[in-house]
Structure 1
Amino acid sequence: MTANRRTPAVSDATQQPAASTTSELSDTVGPLVTLPPRTPNRTVRLASGFQSTPLAERSTQSVAYSTTMTVAEQKAIIKAELAIATVASTDEDFPRQLFPDPGDDEIDAYLKATPLYDTESGRWVKLPKDVNCEEKLINIPMSEILGEILESFDLSAPNPGNRVVWDLTTKKSQRLAHEKEMAAKEKEEKDRVAREKQARPKSTKEKVELATDEGGDNGLDGKAEAANGKGQEDGAKEAKRAKTFPKAMHHSEAVPTKAYSIPDTVFTGTGPGFTIDDVDMERPLYRASLGVVDYKRDSELDGSITENTAQLGVYARQVMNHQPNRNFVRAANVSNERVRLFHFDRSGVKYSLLYNIHSNPRMLVRIILGLVSTNLADLGFDPSIVWEPTDDPAAKFKRGTLTTRTANNDTIVYDIVGVEPFYQRRDLVGRGTLCWSIEIRTASNRDQTEGQALFEKEGSAERDADVVAGEGRKSESEAADNGLSSKESWCSESRTSEEVFLAAAVGVKGVGQMVACEDVVETASFRGANAINDPGFLNRIKRRIILKKYGPPIHKFKTVLDVLYALIDAIRAHQRMVKEKGVLHRDISVNNILLGIAGADSEEGWRGVLIDFDMAIFLDRAEALLNELRTGTRMFQSLNVLQAWRPHDYLDDLESFLYVLIYLVLAFPEPNVECELPKELQDWNADSLYEAYKSKLTFITHGVLNFDVPPMWGYHISTLVEDLCRHFQPIHAMSIRISNQRLPKAQRDKLEASFKKKYLNDVDGQYDEIVGYIESAIENILAGQDGANEPSAMSSPSPTPAPRKGAGKRGSEEAYPHDAKEPSLKRSRH
């Protein structure tokens, strides 16, 4: 099934990504040049209780918060995200625009042939007529209808794969295999594996597993399953089978979680969009999901749109979490009378009108077929990321490739290292940033196979056998020669692209270096005709940047010296961007400072690398500075940014480096061991600007927060934090005085002139002083002075010592794996 796509959308015919906006920076391709964005010229638009399907109340970790919360709380956050990102379609033809195939004649032929629909009465015969009937009376007949629809249409092209309907209300599934050749190949492969198992001695564990495979699903009643399957075999539908299964679909978060949710019906599949082709899947998994359907009382379809979008949003978010190569997810609400289609992407949700499934049965058939389409673009898969089978029949995971196109329309293919991104933001709405570890494809790469990376935990329901990041991928040293990373994010088209700032940063030491970039697709291209003009719609462009590879984020440090050297080089890189390029970063955080590839042993200037310039701005654009007063990650925003005393300037970013250090000291008592922050520091991440400001101001000016510094950090780090706090005290004191509205204008003007001369204009002096404090701490640690590793309390800042500059010897010798997980922090996007 194909759909019309708007430029620069992916072509369904070729399944190729759009051409890049910037050519590759390499000896063979030539210098990096900026080209106009490949989006249509237009005016930019800015986005200015009933019993539901069960959402298990289990503990998990929010992307937005650093506290543990239930799935119901996740649902509340999604509801808040969608509050300003929901579009109601008024176009009767909206589903047809998304799913143009099959034609009406083919659907009509099915409706005349099926015994489930009566063309004379115009009704699906098994559905109850009572509009107020309960959900449980809808589930069984509707499940039969959905299964029969899928059995009656050819789903073998253009990307053949298995399709399974899982009815979680009855715990029954129907596995569809329309291609006899495909079914034969699956059986042949299964028989081969079985023969190999029989040919070698079996352990007790293997015997148990074999018995389970032959007798049923996870120890359920194998006889009953066989009987059900046999009763459903009939002619051309011999591949269809029914069985029971565990229905909880476990969640994927930034940290391990036991949370799960239970949609009513889930469609799963296999094919080039999935990292694993599990043709004998024993239960529905989000990592294999195509789309979901929830059943509702008919009355709940009218007045509960906010609840329904939030509930389906939980499912859509989990599909995207498990399948980071998905651009969007579609779902449906169905009652015994009507159906509504939902489209979720990084711009939010767009939902259709309600369609009567009896008088307009075509629409139900079209929507269901669309949710299981074999066209990857219709399902939301990024066709530039493909998972290919390996030559190793024992390998669980397939090998991934990423295809990009240059400004000259040349194709470059990269191998994806591993099967998961090493960085993933897990919000439903927003940038959805992903970072893949990649290599330029070579003949040797192509012949290699990925090892198994399946999370194995016997008897555990904590995860649904999903991938563990980092396992099965090449080591850092093996990938170092041609190692790169691919960063993907969905950017508002009204914002200057990050690639513009990275192009300015080419050759700047300590700033992540861009190799290539492209605009891939935009959310407007997924949403039907004229979507760009939908009220409240904020179009987002998927931008992909290929970067040179560095170490993990600074919070994955191995030694204290790793942190200090990384801070020095990142601060100096920030200084170069401000002084030489006129670029202000505006989002300094623990996620945007990378360690060098060898930590403190990296080349000087590259021991810390500044990345993520998507919130950056050119300093000569005064209007933009005035219009965007609060940007960045809340935990690390300066006092000035929180209070908006003056436009964001370099002093604010320098202050953010201080908060990065404090966060690391109090959140990580040991490398890779994260603890809960003190309540006072949790307030730095508060929703309330006042609470965040008050807590930080107390820390900076009064030093009343008496925290014991973990022994690993020691006395000299405590002294460093105190000295840096002391440095910013007079800056804040003068800012507070200037912000006093009762101050006479002449006096305020005098203070502003003094502030500008003493602080804003002394750019090099400010950077030198901050770096000097850090270098003094390094010098003292390397000198091994008494108290270097003794616990110390952060209290009232000490008198400011004269900054000293020292180059000391470097620490760690180990290379760093690219397996960083993201600390959960709020990020403001204005």
Structure 2
Amino acid sequence: MRLWEFNRLGVVGSTPFDVNKDGQMLVSAILGYLWMSEEELGFDSTILDDGGRYTQIQRDGRIERLGLEELMKRQRSVAGRATTCWRGSLEDEPDGGLVIKDSWEFEERPEEGLLLKEATEAGVKNVARYYHHETVHTRGEMDDVRHNVRKGLSDAGGRNPFQQRRPTHPDAVTSPATSSGSRPGRGRSRSTSRTITRKRSSSCVRTSMPPPKRSCSDSPVKQDARRRRNRVHRRLIMRDIGKGIYEASSLRAVLTGLLRGIKGHESLLDAKILHRDISIRNIMLKMGEDDGFLIDLDLAIRLDRQKVSGALSKTGTKVFMAIGALYGDEDHNFMHDLESFF
């Protein structure tokens, strides 16, 4: 038996033990799970319930209470950003709609809240407006995976049990044409014609090619970097509420959303910010469908940055990424974002 802990970086497992030989360990494990608090089980202790769900933020030196009225979006995943958005409002301003966005971001990434704050202060148009952002703290400590969730538990000595191992002798794979020709009872002419007319399978093609280069994910340097990575729980609050462009009720509304999204992208560029993640889910329409705006600066960068973010892979929503950005032959620029709009 093994015990597993799932978190936003992945999964960590214990060393196996035999329940028949170590009954005390089995009982201890069961009691440990039964006695866990909701926070230890993974529930967010900053989301409270007092006849209605709410959270508290500290802004301009005072505590503000935000009611969480409706769940707008939840990314259903264990490992990853696990972005969750609520529609909410201030306790003393029930008619002032806000969007509360929680996500687990890599700590080396630029904070989305800081970028959005800069954009709002620069007067950027057609981009969701900033209200507040913070790094979530629990029990007086920053809520992150390495120290707060895993409590310093190291995964440096482990391996990924779900990773498929490559065959050690790829040349030992037999092609379908060869195996069919060696079966007893087959005539030579029949097997020869089948070999000629039958297309080679993908396995046959792979065996005839030289061994592939080692992929980026197998690089020891990048494997070590992944093990050192950390995700931090961050909260961003925005003023504008809308709906996705894919929910538009007419072609006119779709074109309005696209046009305003392009205007917002241009306005961000004027503020020296490149979005880098234009997709159908990041172009929003106002509820009246008479205006639109961009959201999600998770992957945005400052154009005048001094160093790269340290990401281990390409950034963006792949199905909407420009060809040049996907191939990696070019640095991501504003033209790639414009291509993503279309």
Is TM > 0.5 for Structure 1 vs Structure 2? yes
- Within 2, Cα distance between the matches of 1:425 and 1:625? 23
Other-structure match for 2:79: 429
Other-structure match for 2:109: 495
Of Structure 1 and Structure 2, the greater helix share is in 1
- Within 1, Cα distance between the matches of 2:319 and 2:152? 41
- Within 1, Cα distance between the matches of 2:27 and 2:36? 15
SS at match of 2:15: coil
- Within 2, Cα distance between the matches of 1:377 and 1:407? 28
Out of 68, 82, 101, which is 1:416 matched to? Answer: 68
C-alpha deviation, 1:582, in angstroms: 1.0
The one of the two structures with greater contact order (alpha-carbon pairs below 8 A, sep at least 6) is 2
Cα separation, partners in 2 of 1:365 and 1:405, compared to 1, 3 Å: farther
CA contact (8 A) 1:588 1:656 kept: yes
Out of 21, 35, 39, which is 1:373 matched to? Answer: 35
CA contact (8 A) 2:85 2:99 kept: yes
Other-structure match for 1:570: 261
Say whether residues 1:589 and 2:279 are aligned partners: yes
- Within 2, Cα distance between the matches of 1:640 and 1:592? 21
Other-structure match for 1:456: none
Of Structure 1 and Structure 2, the greater strand share is in 2
Cα separation, partners in 2 of 1:359 and 1:348, compared to 1, 3 Å: same
Amino acid of the structure 2 residue aligned with 1:514: Y
- Within 2, Cα distance between the matches of 1:360 and 1:352? 15
CA contact (8 A) 1:625 1:647 kept: no
Other-structure match for 2:302: 618
* Structure 1 vs Structure 2 CA RMSD: 2.5
Task: Report matched runs for 1:342-741 at 5 Å.
Answer: 342-357=4-19, 360-373=22-35, 375-388=37-50, 390=51, 399-406=52-59, 408=61, 410-418=62-70, 421-442=71-92, 481-506=95-120, 507-520=123-136, 521-524=143-146, 525-531=148-154, 536-579=227-270, 581-600=271-290, 607-621=291-305, 623-624=307-308, 630-658=314-342
C-alpha deviation, 1:625, in angstroms: 8.3
C-alpha deviation, 1:564, in angstroms: 1.3
CA contact (8 A) 2:109 2:309 kept: no
- Within 1, Cα distance between the matches of 2:8 and 2:231? 7
SS at match of 1:552: strand
Cα separation, partners in 2 of 1:413 and 1:374, compared to 1, 3 Å: farther
C-alpha deviation, 1:503, in angstroms: 1.6
CA contact (8 A) 2:108 2:310 kept: no
C-alpha deviation, 1:615, in angstroms: 0.5
C-alpha deviation, 1:363, in angstroms: 3.2
CA contact (8 A) 1:347 1:537 kept: no
- How many residue pairs align between the two structures? 265
Cα separation, partners in 2 of 1:608 and 1:371, compared to 1, 3 Å: same
CA contact (8 A) 2:7 2:79 kept: yes
Residue by residue, what CA displacement relative to the aligned partner does 1:256-282 show, whole Å, maximum 9, x if unpaired? xxxxxxxxxxxxxxxxxxxxxxxxxxx
- Within 2, Cα distance between the matches of 1:554 and 1:417? 22
C-alpha deviation, 1:487, in angstroms: 0.6
- Within 1, Cα distance between the matches of 2:66 and 2:33? 30
C-alpha deviation, 1:360, in angstroms: 4.8
- Within 2, Cα distance between the matches of 1:530 and 1:619? 37
SS at match of 2:329: coil
- Within 2, Cα distance between the matches of 1:412 and 1:627? 35
CA contact (8 A) 1:406 1:518 kept: no
**TM score, norm. by length of structure 2:** 0.71
CA contact (8 A) 2:12 2:155 kept: no
Percentage of matched positions with identical amino acids: 32
Cα separation, partners in 2 of 1:549 and 1:532, compared to 1, 3 Å: farther
- Within 2, Cα distance between the matches of 1:618 and 1:430? 23
Residue by residue, what CA displacement relative to the aligned partner does 1:22-47 show, whole Å, maximum 9, x if unpaired? xxxxxxxxxxxxxxxxxxxxxxxxxx
Residue by residue, what CA displacement relative to the aligned partner does 1:192-222 show, whole Å, maximum 9, x if unpaired? xxxxxxxxxxxxxxxxxxxxxxxxxxxxxxx
Other-structure match for 1:63: none
SS at match of 1:377: coil
Cα separation, partners in 2 of 1:636 and 1:519, compared to 1, 3 Å: same
Deviation larger for 498-507 or 341-350: 498-507
- Within 2, Cα distance between the matches of 1:626 and 1:349? 22
- Gaps of at least 5 residues in structure 1 are 1-338, 391-398, 446-478, 601-606, 659-830
Cα separation, partners in 2 of 1:589 and 1:379, compared to 1, 3 Å: same
Amino acid of the structure 2 residue aligned with 1:528: K
- Within 2, Cα distance between the matches of 1:514 and 1:363? 50
- Within 2, Cα distance between the matches of 1:407 and 1:645? 45
CA contact (8 A) 1:629 1:644 kept: no
SS at match of 1:564: helix
Cα separation, partners in 2 of 1:401 and 1:374, compared to 1, 3 Å: farther
**Which structure: larger Rg?**
1
- Within 2, Cα distance between the matches of 1:491 and 1:622? 21
Residue by residue, what CA displacement relative to the aligned partner does 1:368-420 show, whole Å, maximum 9, x if unpaired? 233233522111110111234x4xxxxxxxx2112334485x432211113xx
